[in-house]
């Protein structure tokens, strides 16, 4: 999956998103909720001593003022619509940032 394809899917959320992080200046001007996405590595499939299938790990981090069940459901429905198998691996309050994070991990 390409960067453009990932960003097209995230655009369906209707909230601001960036690769890896928002700058401090952006965070002053952009209210929550936001999405940050990143590709922390690969989990490729090998055959005959070669990379047979490239598989990119994809993390989507949803940040909100409080736990937002409806926005999580919307993200999950968008991923399902695009046939992306996902796992919510974390959901908790970030005291230092004063925001809620819901982390989704998948491979594309």
User: Which band of pLDDT confidence, cut at 50, 70 and 90, is reported for residue 100?
Assistant: very high
Identify the CA nearest to 56 among candidates 39, 32, 36: 39
The whole domain housing 72 covers 3-107
Q: Residue 17's beta-bridge partner residues?
A: 35
The model's pTM? 0.93
pLDDT at position 90, please? 96
CATH value at residue 20: 3.30.2000.30
pLDDT tens column, 52-97? 999 999 999 999 999 999 999 999 999 999 999 999 999 999 999 9
Main-chain phi, psi angles of 21, to 5 degrees: -170, 160
**How many structural domains are present in the chain?**
1
Which tokens go with 6?
A: 């990932």
Beta carbons of 62 and 104 less than 8 angstroms apart: yes
pLDDT tens column, 10-60? 999 999 999 999 999 999 999 999 999 999 999 999 999 999 999 999 999
């Amino acid at each position: 999956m390409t960067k453009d394809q990932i960003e097209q899917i995230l655009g369906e959320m209707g909230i601001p998103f960036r690769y890896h992080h928002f700058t401090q200046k952006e965070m002053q001007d952009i209210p929550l909720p936001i999405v940050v996405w990143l590709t922390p590595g690969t989990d490729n499939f090998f055959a005959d001593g070669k990379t047979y299938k490239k598989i990119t790990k994809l993390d989507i981090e949803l940040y909100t003022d409080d736990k937002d069940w409806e926005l999580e459901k919307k993200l999950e429905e968008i991923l399902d619509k695009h046939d992306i198998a996902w796992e919510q691996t974390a959901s908790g309050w970030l005291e230092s940032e004063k925001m809620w994070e819901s982390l989704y991990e998948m491979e594309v």
